[in-house]
Amino acid sequence: MPETSSLPAPVTTSGASAKRDVLLRAAGELFARQGYRAVGIDTVLAAAGVAKMTLYKHFRSKEELIAAVLEQRGDAIATDLSERIAAAPATPSNPGAPILAVFDWLADAVRSPEFHGCLFIKAASEYPDPQDLPRQAAVAFKKSC
């Protein structure tokens, strides 16, 4: 999936996991549009339709929520990109098909109306301290690419 503000649809079976997924989705969409520091916890709670207790049951802090959003987004990007590359195998007549698939994926990502910039770069810029969880999550994703 291109790096857009919409997180992948959650696949859950328990109520607790479903609420966690709702939190991640709402937070991811808000962070993508408005930035991390501009979005308060109360805004995330209102968008997700959950209580503060639910948030803190799953995440100890806003920074931990941000790191979880980035981890989920990174996993979704890696999966979607791998699928796109696998669907475009190199052939004798088109040996560059896999690399072209990467560029096609990137073009789709940045053209999406839901794309508001790279969440990982935003996290690194809004959380400059190397000890910050959001920065660590962003760096980990960028290193895995």
Cα 13 to Cα 104: distance, rounded to the nearest angstrom: 34
Q: Contact, 41 vs 30, CB < 8 A?
A: no
**pLDDT for residue 13 is more than 90:** no
> pTM for this structure?
0.84
94 has which bridge partners? 91
pLDDT at 10 over 90: no
3-state secondary structure of 1: coil
pLDDT of residue 145: 80
How is residue 41 written in tokens? 């916890």
CA distance 85 to 111: 19
**pLDDT tens-digit series, residues 44-68:** 999 999 999 999 999 999 999 999 9
Under CATH, what is the fold of the domain 15-144?
A: Tetracycline Repressor; domain 2 (1.10.357)
- Of 139, 134, 144, 136, whose CA–CA distance to 28 is shortest? 134
pLDDT of residue 110: 94
Looking at residue 91, its pLDDT comes to: 95
Q: Show me where the domains of the chain are located.
A: 15-144
The whole-angstrom separation of Cα 52 and Cα 76 is 27
With the C-alpha atoms ordered 17, 19, 23, 29, is the resulting torsion angle positive or negative? positive
- At 35-44, the pLDDT tens digits run 999 999 999 9
